[in-house]
Amino acid sequence: MTGRVTLVGGGPGAIDLLTLRAVRALASADVILHDRLAPTEQLSQWAPQAQFFDVGKRPGHHRVTQESIHQMMLSAAREGNHVVRLKGGDPFVLGRGCEEVAACREAGIPVTVVPGITSAISVPAAAGVPVTARGVSKAFTVISGHDPLSEDELRGLVSLGGTVVILMGVGTMGHTIESLQRLGLPTQTPVCLVEKGYSPQQRILIAPAQRILEVAAQAKVRSPAVMVIGDVVHLAADADDVGRSVLDTSTMPALQRAEEIQLIRSMVGALA
């Protein structure tokens, strides 16, 4: 008897941000193939009868190739198992979920998708940063920074305006920020970096575009981190509001630092 596959979005990593449908899928799983950033702390409780396989990719190191993941998923389903492919964030936002669904359909394996909370929106929210805000930004662009952005992509981001959210962009951050400024991004545009969002190690760093690389270097920012560029960053909550965070403006002159923090608080108050 042929089994089935459920592609599950695990959200940004906090276990209580899994959807009810995701939890139900895990409870009935026989085999779980999970990614590095998927919530796995309580998998043995959610899926007590399941076998677990870590197939996560790390920057610069793919321990299990995508083709091998497809084969593992399809082989387990052909044996009659309910296979849950547990991914971080949402399966269809800058992931390879569509390829995995296509592999199942081509093999004749029933497949369903359980959407997850994408880190493109939820991780900025961990810093109190909305990706859109009335009177500030009415559009946002989500783009992968895994590979260096092209001149056309960078020019498009500058000309489109609004909010820019960059995922998987720590390794190419220098190229991105310097190129955006060269192509016309104002140097005082606020930038927010949220490292390890929704984890106990979460850090939030905020600085103008012209200083964010220095701030990030001093803080030794590491992946995973989400970068938000745009005026919505001025709406960030302060550290007391978001918890386990750092409002890092340490490279600003004292007067500018005070003005920046005051601006953030006044704008938050105005929108309350």
What helix, strand, coil percent values describe the chain, rounded to 5? Answer: 40, 20, 40
Q: What is the pLDDT of residue 163?
A: 98
The predicted model gives 182-196 an average pLDDT of 97
Provide the pLDDT for residue 60: 57
Q: Is the pLDDT at 244 greater than 70, yes or no? A: no
Spot the catalytic one: 30, 90, 168, 173. Answer: 168
> What average pLDDT does the segment 258-270 reach?
43
Average pLDDT over residues 139-149: 97
Helix (H) or strand (E) holding 92: none
Give the pLDDT confidence score for residue 184 in this predicted structure: 97
Asked if 35 is an active-site residue, the reply is yes
Residue 61 pLDDT more than 80?
no
**4-117 domain in CATH 1.10.1040.10?**
no
Q: What is the CA radius of gyration of the chain?
A: 20
Catalytic residue among 57, 231, 238, 267: 57
What is the mean pLDDT of the segment spanning 21-36?
96
Query: What is 120-271's CATH number?
Result: 3.30.950.10
Q: Specify the pTM.
A: 0.85
Active site residue 168: yes
Q: What are the boundaries of each domain within the chain?
A: 4-117, 120-271
Confidence (pLDDT) at 237: 74
Q: CA-to-CA distance for 58 and 140, rounded, in angstroms?
A: 27
* Catalytic option among 35, 87, 227, 248: 35
Strand order, beta sheet including 190-195 = 140-144, 163-167, 225-229, 190-195, 203-208
Mean pLDDT of 9-33: 95
Average pLDDT, the chain: 88
Higher-confidence position of 245 and 121 = 121
Give the pLDDT score at 42: 87
Q: What is the pLDDT of residue 240?
A: 53
